[in-house]
Structure 1
Amino acid sequence: MTASSQGRPLPDGNFGNHAGPPHPRRRKAMPISDDVTEQPTTHPTMSPAPFVPTRQPAQPLTDDGTGNFFLSAYTMSAQRIASDSEWKKTPLGQTGLFNMGNTCFMNATLQPLFHTPGFSQLFQEKSAQRFVNGNNSFGTNGMISGSFSALIDLIWSGKFNALRPAIFLEFFARRVNTEMADRQQHDAQEFQLYLLDALHEDTNRVNQRQSFEQNYDDTDLGASASDFNERAKLFSSSPVNDLFNLTNISVVQCSTCNTKSVRFEVVNQLSLELPTNTDCLTLKDCLEAHFSSASLEDKWDCPKCKSKQPATRSTKIWEIPKVLIVHLKRFSLNDGHYVKNNVEVTFDVAELDLAPFLHEKSPHHNAALSLYGITDHSGRLNSGHYTASVINLISTDREWLSFDDESCIPCGSAPSPTSKHAFLLYYKRMNSKAK
């Protein structure tokens, strides 16, 4: 697997800064064919040929007259995936995904998203179509959301033991990120960032973005937060962001005169560093390190002192999302090579309390979340495998399912809360109405 796709930087998930998120994938659309021949699963150490279309293109996609290709992409994808997949009546929520040649990174990311409260319902055909904004030049004109919606509806149809989403991967390659369809191993978190960003842009309510600068102090944080939220909605706003966005508040304080500068930051997942000098730690250890105060390496240009002064920065949570994705940063660059950190992390399952990491003036007091999904990575950087464990979205007794590509095994109880394989953790706010 690669730590990042070559040639383009990752979307950072940060939609609150005045400059906005990068959009490295945006380019002229390529024609979408009606079929792609699936390549057989290969051993991770092999170097397979690229995943490319091999049949003649079908009729081109057609829009609805407003530049929205959602329905056309949905219909084409639903037909292709259904015809390529394994028909068999299956309990709802237990449909797997075939490995089409080192695509476990995609499969182990999609399954938790399929079981994310509020997310599957959002991208069902009848729901998603009304949210898609075909006029957003940063989106895919509804193509990736249409194909994804077809996948959602087939997953929850109960008619398939496993799906073969070759055409979804083709849409993703043509409109979002080409390298991730090269049948090499890739980073599941990277795939998730690109996918959520593409779905966000397809459903972005804003056509003309209004950039803005942040210039807040600490005199009235409530008013500052309200002003930031109003301005941020004029820059970027979607039902995807409404579900996943975490708002942090960062305060820089001058060590000489105590003047403070406040900045809000919106991210769609929380990436936590893992120390290399320990054999085991807890998720709360990682959170404490992430939200601890630190001295700035460079002096800060203090507006009151009118000169550069030593300063500290503290970051806390201002608003907790309905769904929080936690990324444990197991891969890092060391002497020019990416290495994996296999430290054991103990994480909260029944209840994760984020109250200690909330800003003291945050108006959001219920900070309890419960775990509903895990993406695991086992093995080494270039010869590993991704799997997923999730709580069945429709289960009334928190039934856990274990997914390994096309295989799904009901396992009843939750996975071990201590793991050296946990890579992405999925939490839902316990008072959230999303079901």
Structure 2
Amino acid sequence: MDVETAVRSAVDAGAFIRPTFDQKIFKDQCAYCFKDPHGKDGLYISLKNYHAFCREHAEIYGTTSGNTLFVQFESTKKIIEERTDGEPTSKMTKLTIDSDPKFEFEDKYCVVVHPEYSQQVKNVQNLPEIAEAIAQIANTTSAERLSLLSSTSNAWDAEIKLITKHQNLEQQDNGKHLALTGWTCEVEGCGLNDNLWLNLTDGAVRCGRSQFLSDGKKTNGNGHMQDYFDSTRFPLVVKLGTISSNLELIDVYSYDEDDAVIDPNLEKHLKHFGLDPTKMEKTAKSTMEMELDMNEKWEWSKCTEDGLLLEPIFGPGYTGLVNTGSSCYMNSVLQALVTVDSFQTRYGEQGLETLVNCPLDKLHNDFNAQFSKVVRAMLSGDYSSEMDPTNNHIKPLQFKRVAAGNHRDFSTSKQQDVEEYIRFLFEKIAENSRTEVIDPTDSFKFKAINRFEDRGTRRVRYTDQEEMLIRLPISGDLLRPIPDTENRYSVDMKAAIHAYFDVQKIDDYISPITGEPKGATNTISMKTFPDYLFFQVSKFAYNVDGTQKKLDMELEIEEELDLSGYRGHGKLEHEIALPDEEPTAPRTTPDIPASVRFVAGELMLMGFCENACYRAAYYSNGNVEIASNWLMEHMDDSDINDLFVIPSGTPSARGEVDPNLVASIVEMGFSNHQAKYALKQVPTVAEAVEWLFANMDSIPVESAAVGLSSDAPEPSVTESATQKTFKDGGEKYKLIGMISHMGSRPDSGHYVAHMLKEGKWVLFNDEKVALSQDPPKKLAYVYLYKRIA
């Protein structure tokens, strides 16, 4: 049978469906891998459903589906031949400019019938319906691109400044006007003429503090502006040498907010003292520029191994991932997970089966299919070849979109926290593995035991909880100053691990037995030891205003860990259990928690009225310092002294919970999500911890609890830790991977991964993959260990 007859026979057999005017046509990438029309043989577009396949996967799809009719689409880059009339040389081309010389892509279409791919019908004039379909394929924007255009938002990795609360700053009318240049510090005897700052309240000019530069030297500075703020409390200052017409580059700092800020009224505030930014030129580096210099010379260069001549490495498992818009956090996590045995099995070895069995109309939005597509590509070596340097990476756009869903953070193109993404992704994997034999996240999950003791009666309560990561607390007593550095510290990893498992005190806990506020303790141990363990270093601390700052620290790591001292076994024979159902102690003020009454009492000792104190204590989650600040900010409220009654509804109506309270609970071994959820049910740390012990199984899964649309189904409930089997083995582990963060906050900056492969450390910096010469073992944010015994 000749090929045209074979095509006609396939059409008659139902292998061809005429495309509708709004037909989705996939033609940029193979449905099962990342090959595109520019590679060998191009892509084969099914004329039944208009999905595209590479040659290898077209054969598999044609055999399994019975859909045998394809349009072969090849797109080849060619140098444009110069023409005097300015017209392109071919009507069926897409013009692109890479560099000089200019190039164009020449597109070719022909028809083939599975399995005889070498026999092609190039002239389809005798097949008018197929000719019309090919014309529509050529002229239609691809479905992949339409999906990208509808979901992509612009973002970048840079630091995000906060708008200052002093944007309406009251400035003194003292008649002070400054010259546009030639300033000096106004403190008698100082005389510095660089590193100068202008106080926007009264126009005082003072020098800043001395800072380390990237070359190890220090800037001039005697800290006179800090002294000035301490004496006047005038908060907002501007670095004089940074003033120019580009207001975004001017260095503005708020002392009481303890951060670089944006002042929306900066031009007005400067002109108050005679400084017109449009007439001034930038002469000094901003604080951020100096910090970036430090990053380039220290953390950034250390983590990315910048400046070192790194040798690229190729082959299976060494595939780079293109940054698709602040997606380095996702790329780093994927590079870590693809080294894990269970992930290789679930999405690598079993991945093709998952793809083939997924209906094509669901394939591009199916989580398991898209994860399989990415992992198979990363492990294949097809996109990591020394012979083809232009094709040594993949772009996991579809996976990012499908994995994120409508999550309010991960569905954007903004930078995110790696630790939060790991937890989110693991929940997503578990949700999509309920009917599968393998849940690859089981390799990480372990059962933790919480031992809660009432200090008033010495009675105890043991509860199990599922964990997937150990969050190492970095308290002040663990920080050891590094000699000859400024505000830089080292931390012993063993000490940080011990702090995680150490006794945590809950001072305001009220005994359900005696009713006395003698406090309680909580201690974590491990009941099971998984195949792999993630450790996250808590480098980020919360400021009073809820913003985060990063500790400048090194972790003195242990490449091999023995955690046998932290194995727990549950209740001992001589221990007496706390009752599961606690009696409700009588309260002098009905319906008001004892912790709120306590804080209100502390405020009343300061001279405030009773109802105002109860209101402040309640709306501040029972924290004295926060309640005091809340009270000062609301003294002018008309109802501040009205009779206080507990509002109806749950405490979540009070808005976002205090991040400092969240951090306190997280340090006891709970996740951010669990801590926040509990604090929306009860107001204080003690009550939240108690609530968690009693209600752990009722907390919604994080991926379902956030970012839901209004018509989304009710969130599913986490599986009880007692209802599943956990992997358990020896307690010894070896370091096999690290994810490092560069920047001042986890939701900005840049992430890279270093993985130990075949005995060598390899740097994965988005699409760049190379042998590591100096892995930054002391600077990582997340460490990956594998059980060795």
TM-score (norm. length: structure 1) = 0.64
Which residues of 2 match residues 327-338 of structure 1 at below 5 A? 327-336=536-545, 337-338=547-548
Partner of 2:433: 203
Contact 2:531–2:729 (Cα < 8 Å) also in 1? no
Output one character per residue of 1:394-432: Cα deviation in whole Å (capped at 9) or x when no partner: x2xx222111110111237x735422xx1111111113x
Partner of 2:412: 182
Partner of 1:340: 550
Relative to structure 1, is the Cα distance of residues 128 and 338 closer, same or farther in structure 2, using a 3 angstrom cutoff? farther
Partner of 1:379: 743
Match of 1:273 among 458, 473, 490: 473
Match of 2:452 among 252, 255, 263: 252
Contact 1:281–1:344 (Cα < 8 Å) also in 2? yes
Which residues of 2 match residues 11-30 of structure 1 at below 5 A? none
Q: Name the SS for the 2:430 alignment partner.
A: helix
1-structure distance, mates of 2:530, 2:426: 15
Q: Name the SS for the 1:415 alignment partner.
A: coil
Relative to structure 1, is the Cα distance of residues 120 and 306 closer, same or farther in structure 2, using a 3 angstrom cutoff? same
2-structure distance, mates of 1:91, 1:251: 48
Partner of 1:411: 772
Match of 1:107 among 304, 326, 331: 331
Partner of 1:148: 371
- The code of the aligned residue for 1:150 comes to K
Q: CA deviation at 1:99?
A: 1.2
- The code of the aligned residue for 1:189 comes to E
Partner of 1:167: 398
Relative to structure 1, is the Cα distance of residues 41 and 155 closer, same or farther in structure 2, using a 3 angstrom cutoff? farther
- Deviates most, 260-269 or 249-258: 249-258
2-structure distance, mates of 1:43, 1:306: 52
Q: CA deviation at 1:196?
A: 1.3
- The code of the aligned residue for 1:409 comes to A
Contact 2:509–2:519 (Cα < 8 Å) also in 1? yes
Output one character per residue of 1:55-82: Cα deviation in whole Å (capped at 9) or x when no partner: xxxxxxxxxxxxxxxxxxxxxxxxxxxx
Q: CA deviation at 1:172?
A: 2.5
Output one character per residue of 1:88-135: Cα deviation in whole Å (capped at 9) or x when no partner: 99411111111122211111111111112322222226269679xx9x
2-structure distance, mates of 1:89, 1:188: 25
2-structure distance, mates of 1:429, 1:150: 28
1-structure distance, mates of 2:558, 2:160: 37
Relative to structure 1, is the Cα distance of residues 251 and 344 closer, same or farther in structure 2, using a 3 angstrom cutoff? same
Relative to structure 1, is the Cα distance of residues 176 and 117 closer, same or farther in structure 2, using a 3 angstrom cutoff? farther
Q: Name the SS for the 1:34 alignment partner.
A: helix
Contact 2:527–2:567 (Cα < 8 Å) also in 1? yes
Partner of 1:67: none
Partner of 1:389: 754
Which of the pair has more CA radius of gyration? 2
- Deviates most, 116-125 or 35-44: 35-44
Q: CA deviation at 1:343?
A: 1.5
Relative to structure 1, is the Cα distance of residues 257 and 101 closer, same or farther in structure 2, using a 3 angstrom cutoff? closer
2-structure distance, mates of 1:430, 1:268: 18
Partner of 1:121: 345
Which residues of 2 match residues 212-291 of structure 1 at below 5 A? 239-276=439-476, 278=479, 279-291=489-501
2-structure distance, mates of 1:256, 1:141: 58
Q: CA deviation at 1:46?
A: 9.1
Partner of 1:212: none
Q: CA deviation at 1:167?
A: 1.2
Q: CA deviation at 1:33?
A: 5.3
- The code of the aligned residue for 2:543 comes to N
- Deviates most, 294-303 or 278-287: 294-303
Q: CA deviation at 1:241?
A: 4.2
- The code of the aligned residue for 2:455 comes to S
Relative to structure 1, is the Cα distance of residues 339 and 256 closer, same or farther in structure 2, using a 3 angstrom cutoff? closer
1-structure distance, mates of 2:782, 2:313: 30
Output one character per residue of 1:320-377: Cα deviation in whole Å (capped at 9) or x when no partner: 111111111222321222111221111222x111112222679967210111110000
2-structure distance, mates of 1:46, 1:265: 36
Output one character per residue of 1:258-296: Cα deviation in whole Å (capped at 9) or x when no partner: 322111111111112222462111221111111111332
Partner of 1:352: 561
Contact 2:555–2:778 (Cα < 8 Å) also in 1? yes
Q: CA deviation at 1:41?
A: 8.9
1-structure distance, mates of 2:520, 2:155: 53
Q: Name the SS for the 1:123 alignment partner.
A: helix
Relative to structure 1, is the Cα distance of residues 129 and 321 closer, same or farther in structure 2, using a 3 angstrom cutoff? farther
Indicate yes or no: 2:520 matched with 1:311.
Answer: yes
Contact 2:342–2:440 (Cα < 8 Å) also in 1? no
Partner of 1:367: 731
Relative to structure 1, is the Cα distance of residues 332 and 204 closer, same or farther in structure 2, using a 3 angstrom cutoff? farther
Q: Name the SS for the 1:374 alignment partner.
A: strand
Q: Which structure has greater helix proportion?
A: 2
Q: CA deviation at 1:391?
A: 1.7
Relative to structure 1, is the Cα distance of residues 203 and 129 closer, same or farther in structure 2, using a 3 angstrom cutoff? farther
Contact 1:177–1:194 (Cα < 8 Å) also in 2? no
| Structure with bigger RCO (C-alpha 8 Å, 6+ apart) | 1
1-structure distance, mates of 2:492, 2:155: 36
2-structure distance, mates of 1:342, 1:261: 38
- Deviates most, 270-279 or 257-266: 270-279
Contact 1:176–1:194 (Cα < 8 Å) also in 2? no
Q: Name the SS for the 2:380 alignment partner.
A: coil
Q: Name the SS for the 1:156 alignment partner.
A: helix
Relative to structure 1, is the Cα distance of residues 191 and 176 closer, same or farther in structure 2, using a 3 angstrom cutoff? farther
Match of 1:44 among 158, 175, 188: 158
- Deviates most, 305-314 or 367-376: 305-314
1-structure distance, mates of 2:159, 2:551: 20
Contact 2:429–2:439 (Cα < 8 Å) also in 1? no
Q: Which structure has greater strand proportion?
A: 1
2-structure distance, mates of 1:276, 1:307: 31
Output one character per residue of 1:191-217: Cα deviation in whole Å (capped at 9) or x when no partner: 2221111011100259xxxxxxxxxxx
2-structure distance, mates of 1:187, 1:346: 23
- The code of the aligned residue for 1:167 comes to Q
2-structure distance, mates of 1:261, 1:301: 13
2-structure distance, mates of 1:317, 1:276: 25
Q: Which runs of 5+ in 1 are unaligned?
A: 1-31, 48-87, 135-139, 207-236
- The code of the aligned residue for 1:143 comes to D
1-structure distance, mates of 2:157, 2:430: 34
Contact 1:347–1:418 (Cα < 8 Å) also in 2? yes
Partner of 2:246: none
2-structure distance, mates of 1:130, 1:110: 19
